[in-house]
């Protein structure tokens, strides 16, 4: 029997996008044009195509202009570089997102570093990473998934996370490291655990908040969880689901939801947890970028 309270990311993300839509109306009244998000997709990977489509729909829903550039999978790196340079110099475009992963013949690091930091709505550019690390949130564009994880934790624990022990499973530049910075900014005690962590189960068991971002299906078991802890499952993994029929699959997180939900106080589902928040925070970054670029930062309101 599930005992934990489910953290509904769809509902919380809808609240965020509702606020952004209202702020966008103020922005358009002041500037005369809506914020503009440009999304670049190289290839036709089904999962990436779905993500890009959802991002475009949400952008239009909150009142943004949305531009999508879909390039063939064999697009030369120089052609992608030329497109990024064009978007960087276009004053109409406020945010640029290049959907990852990129084909192997394209250097993803080079592309990320090419995006103008003030338009880097994923928050992956080294300048934004540095600003985040320095605590300069007024200038940084913050990675969306880590920011969404903090908001989800606050949605059930309240705005004051001070003193809580957060254990982050995973040390990626996309989730693990920026999540650590954000929870530190909330005055949490933060531990980053990873594949080389000894007695990892014991480390996780100390956590008031667990952020699982390792990319291993259902790795975190219920017995790893401290009773009453809040579990934020960032993982999204597709595994075989023979019970649904031959060749069928299903999505699971990095946490074994069934066992963890009998121990945790609060837990995010997969899907429907962190995923919707990632898209909502992408809209928040695009709005913040537009306000900063056009001299109207007073319109940026707390989420």
Residues with catalytic annotation? 55, 99, 122
Alpha helices of the chain — where are they, by DSSP H?
9-31, 46-61, 77-89, 108-114, 126-133, 144-157, 176-185, 200-204, 257-260, 274-293
Token duo for residue 153: 């934790």
Which residues face 191 on adjacent strands? Answer: 167
Phi, psi of 247 (to 5 degrees): 80, 0
Q: Is 266 helix (H, G, I), strand (E, B) or coil?
A: strand
Report how far residue 182's alpha carbon sits from residue 146's, in angstroms, rounded to the nearest whole number.
7
Q: How many CB atoms lie within 10 A of CB 213?
A: 23
**CA dihedral angle for residue 70, residue 293, residue 288, residue 270, rounded to 10 degrees:** 20
């Amino acid at each position: 029997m599930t005992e934990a309270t489910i953290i509904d990311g769809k509902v919380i993300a809808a609240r965020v996008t509702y606020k952004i839509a209202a702020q966008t109306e103020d922005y358009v009244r002041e500037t005369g044009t809506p914020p503009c998000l440009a999304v670049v997709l190289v290839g036709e990977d089904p999962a990436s195509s779905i993500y890009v489509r959802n991002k475009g729909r949400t952008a239009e829903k909150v009142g943004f202009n949305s531009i999508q550039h879909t390039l063939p999978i064999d697009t030369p790196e120089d052609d992608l570089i030329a497109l990024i340079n064009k978007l960087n110099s276009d004053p109409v475009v406020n945010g640029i997102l290049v959907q990852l992963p990129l084909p192997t013949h394209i250097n993803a690091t080079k592309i990320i570093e090419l995006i103008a930091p003030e338009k880097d709505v994923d928050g992956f550019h080294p300048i934004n990473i540095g600003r985040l690390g320095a605590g300069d949130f007024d200038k940084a564009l913050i990675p969306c998934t880590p920011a969404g994880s903090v908001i989800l934790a606050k949605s059930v624990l309240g705005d004051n996370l001070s003193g809580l022990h957060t254990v982050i499973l995973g040390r990626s530049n996309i989730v693990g490291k920026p999540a650590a910075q954000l929870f530190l900014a909330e005055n949490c005690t933060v531990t980053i655990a990873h594949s080389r962590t000894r007695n990892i189960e014991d480390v996780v068991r100390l956590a008031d908040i667990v952020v699982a971002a390792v990319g291993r299906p259902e790795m975190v078991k219920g017995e790893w969880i401290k009773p009453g802890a809040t579990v934020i499952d960032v993982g999204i993994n597709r595994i075989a689901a023979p019970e649904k029929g031959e060749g069928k699959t299903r999505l699971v997180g990095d946490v074994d939801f069934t066992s963890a939900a009998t121990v945790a106080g609060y837990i995010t589902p997969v899907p429907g947890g962190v995923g919707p928040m990632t898209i909502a925070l992408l809209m928040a970054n695009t709005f913040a970028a537009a306000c900063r670029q056009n001299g109207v930062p007073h319109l940026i309101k707390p989420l």
